[in-house]
């Protein structure tokens, strides 16, 4: 478990807004990881969301070369919105 989480949870008076930005991000990530690791956690998709995922998977399987690495996509966004 992360140092920030242990320190924060052992403090009697805990105010997450007094954490640094980095610590708040880490706390949010730690919380999300704990939710995602919980065996009771289930993602509920609408029929439209499930259909879109299936459509994208089918398109990828049909033409896997049509995709590009996420780093390339993010670099393009950075250039476009600098």
Residue 40, phi then psi, degrees to nearest 5: -85, -10
Residue 77: its pLDDT value, please?
A: 92
- Residue 77, burial from CB neighbour count under 10 angstroms (0-12, 13-18, 19+): exposed
Q: What is the pLDDT of residue 8?
A: 58
Identify the residue with better confidence: 49 or 12: 49
Q: Is the pLDDT of residue 2 over 80?
A: no
């Amino acid at each position: 478990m992360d140092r920030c989480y242990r320190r924060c949870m052992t403090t009697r008076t805990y105010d997450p807004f007094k954490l640094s930005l980095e610590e708040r991000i880490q706390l949010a990530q730690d919380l999300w990881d704990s939710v995602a690791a919980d065996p009771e956690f289930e993602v509920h998709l609408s029929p439209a969301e499930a259909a879109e995922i299936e459509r994208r998977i089918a398109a990828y399987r049909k033409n896997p070369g049509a995709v590009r690495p996420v780093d390339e996509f993010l670099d393009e966004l950075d250039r476009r919105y600098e």
